[in-house]
Chain A
């Protein structure tokens, strides 16, 4: 049963399995275990980023191509929901129309970009996606009648999903069961289903072909797989999942603007999470996203402390200022690509594999 659910891709490491279990339980009971608005926000962001990062890993870790347009699809998903809800009012139909529209647009864009750039060489893809994504970001802030420009869009959701809607009169386990909680569990279910679907995709025969292409493009082509077709399908799938993650973000925030979903910083975060969590493992996305989201606030606090401590040395203080946390993330990123290329999950799996072979089992 469990093997089927995980598509025969077991964690293969006791520590990893324990971590994943803790993560699953923690997210499932987050509203009850960690009370407070901020904690719930962090948990929801983890759920969204798990999907976003896992979809990026399909591209980077499994297919071996780098895209810088991933946040573009993330943004399209978020804008789809935001625009539809602003125009059509707070109905379920609006959500559906927005989602389907966004998925359609993502599909078309990913197809066109893929056909243009993957036809020749994979390296084109990185450059072309960068160019298209930056143009799209500017477009999103320019088309202010549709997207609300730099200010973005604030919109209303169907009543069941709003904080003012209460299911019961009384608190249960000390927590009010309101619409906010309903949206959280909607995100939780979506995130779980999408992650398991991605796991299914990468462990299917199709996923094996993607990995073959990553390892040796020429040989994969020689065996008879059309590399271009597989790469394009992979980039389309990844775009669709990113689009879903964007829709989840819009559902949670009830707001969307260019910086919340499309900015280059998010792209950098996603890259970092994939590398830290472990490229080519879906579990890496889950572990990485959680670590990153916790570190994001923690690291800034730490830097603030460091900056205050180093106040006597102005240049050191400037280096450690909380606004410069991207600098330290960048350093971490470069170091982890060099010394830590398989990420947390890769390390854990390697460790348990070594131990098993050493133990003679």
Chain B
């Protein structure tokens, strides 16, 4: 990072949370298992949330229908993986990868394409009207969910992990599920790609400038509208990818999963500061860790742990950890 006034305090929250709960959990191996699991979950959540926060930052559009693309991605994964049982049942990792990789690509392509239509027909007519955006995207979400039920049926569908990704690796006494390692790798790759695109390419420069001051970028002759459609489609595709990851993580998919994950990613982007990518990462990691720790320590309060976390963060910084200044 070149800028010296980078705000490190929020970044420090993640290790701080991990260290704070360490005495509560007691055993090192359990703590390590939970922490890795939490980070993996956080990275999956980040993949899903990144598109939403970029869209909000760039265009001031709050998409309540984002969960739809997550569910869509997961259902595409059941279809693709279901048709490649030869490959997923194999216990060789590379053969599994050959199955999972196209599933991810197809999910991203379909979610992106649906995102394009969603932007055109649902979001476009209501730019600048928050109230209507919330209502309309919510309506779009309901329609999408019902269409998923029409296509795949209303029941939940199992999405078993490919053979070689099941089970865990032992590091010392800590059991670390293999799939979570894969999730960490994919999550870091996506994060790396996003950071690189945003910070090192011209498109990224334009997006960041657009988040800062949209009118200025337009007056310099760039069509921010096209840029936005691109970001929206990319965000939807990322949600599709996240849906595949989330579906494999939960090992079942239901038509309602979009709405459930929606709640989680809203908490994440509120914690992160609406529109901030780095904030979304921190929020996602915090939420992932919190979910795993409280799931282990006190399953009954696990429901409210995320909301308590959000309330605590908002007391500290009412606009989220990295407020986007111009709004």
B147 interfacial contact with A, CB 8 Å: yes
B99 interfacial contact with A, CB 8 Å: no
Known: A135-B307, A324-B150. Contact between A334 and B263, CB under 8 A? Answer: no
- B318 adjacent to A318 (CB under 8 Å): no
Bitwise interface map of B from 108 to 148 toward A, beta carbon under 8 Å scored 1, else 0: 00000000000000100100001110111011101100110
A-B contact pairs, 12 of them (CB 8 A): A65-B131, A120-B314, A123-B274, A128-B266, A128-B270, A134-B263, A135-B303, A323-B154, A330-B140, A330-B142, A330-B146, A334-B136
Q: How far is the CA of A264 from the CA of B125 in the complex (A)?
A: 26
Q: Which 4 A-B pairs have the closest CB atoms?
A: A327-B146, A330-B142, A330-B143, A334-B139
B259 interfacial contact with A, CB 8 Å: yes
Residues of A within 8 A of B304 (CB): 135, 139
* Contacting residue for B306 out of A64, A127, A131, A333, CB 8 A: A131
A336 → chain B closest CB, angstroms: 9
Q: How far is the CA of A338 from the CA of B314 in the complex (A)?
A: 34
Q: How far is the CA of A123 from the CA of B147 in the complex (A)?
A: 28
Interface size class of A (residues with CB under 8 A): 35 or more
Q: Which residue of A lies closest to B125 (CB)?
A: A338
B250 interfacial contact with A, CB 8 Å: no
Q: How far is the CA of A122 from the CA of B130 in the complex (A)?
A: 9
Q: Which residue of A lies closest to B144 (CB)?
A: A330
Q: Kindly identify, within residues 293 to 321 of chain B, every residue whose CB is under 8 Å from any CB belonging to chain A.
A: 300, 303-304, 306-307, 310-311, 314, 318-319
Known: A60-B131, A131-B263. 5 other contacts (CB 8 A): A116-B311, A120-B318, A128-B266, A139-B304, A330-B139
- A64 adjacent to B131 (CB under 8 Å): yes
B248 interfacial contact with A, CB 8 Å: no
Q: Which residue of A lies closest to B266 (CB)?
A: A127
Bitwise interface map of A from 130 to 156 toward B, beta carbon under 8 Å scored 1, else 0: 111011001100100000000000000
* Contacting residue for B303 out of A120, A127, A139, CB 8 A: A139
Q: How far is the CA of A15 from the CA of B267 in the complex (A)?
A: 46
A201 interfacial contact with B, CB 8 Å: no
Main secondary structure on chain A at its contact with chain B?
helix
A1 interfacial contact with B, CB 8 Å: no
- B267 adjacent to A333 (CB under 8 Å): no
- A126 adjacent to B142 (CB under 8 Å): no
Q: Which residue of A lies closest to B267 (CB)?
A: A131
Residues of B within 8 A of A193 (CB): none
A243 interfacial contact with B, CB 8 Å: no
Q: How far is the CA of A66 from the CA of B142 in the complex (A)?
A: 17
Known: A326-B142, A327-B143, A330-B142. Contact between A318 and B136, CB under 8 A? Answer: no
A313 interfacial contact with B, CB 8 Å: no
B260 interfacial contact with A, CB 8 Å: yes
- B138 adjacent to A132 (CB under 8 Å): no
Q: Which residues of A contact B (CB under 8 A)?
A: 60, 64-66, 116, 119-124, 126-128, 130-132, 134-135, 138-139, 142, 264, 268, 271, 275, 315, 318-319, 323-324, 326-327, 329-331, 333-334, 337-338, 341
Q: How far is the CA of A134 from the CA of B63 in the complex (A)?
A: 18
Known: A327-B147, A330-B139. Contact between A66 and B131, CB under 8 A? Answer: yes
Residues of B within 8 A of A275 (CB): 135
A314 → chain B closest CB, angstroms: 11
* Contacting residue for B270 out of A64, A127, A331, CB 8 A: A127
Known: A330-B142, A334-B122. Contact between A318 and B260, CB under 8 A? Answer: no
B159 → chain A closest CB, angstroms: 22
B174 interfacial contact with A, CB 8 Å: no
- A337 adjacent to B132 (CB under 8 Å): yes
- B150 adjacent to A123 (CB under 8 Å): no
Residues of B within 8 A of A132 (CB): 307
Q: How far is the CA of A120 from the CA of B316 in the complex (A)?
A: 13
Known: A330-B143, A334-B122, A337-B139. Contact between A123 and B307, CB under 8 A? Answer: no
Residues of A within 8 A of B319 (CB): 120
- B270 adjacent to A333 (CB under 8 Å): no
- A124 adjacent to B270 (CB under 8 Å): yes
* Contacting residue for A334 out of B143, B154, B267, B327, CB 8 A: B143
B149 interfacial contact with A, CB 8 Å: yes
Residues of A within 8 A of B125 (CB): 338
Q: How far is the CA of A66 from the CA of B132 in the complex (A)?
A: 10
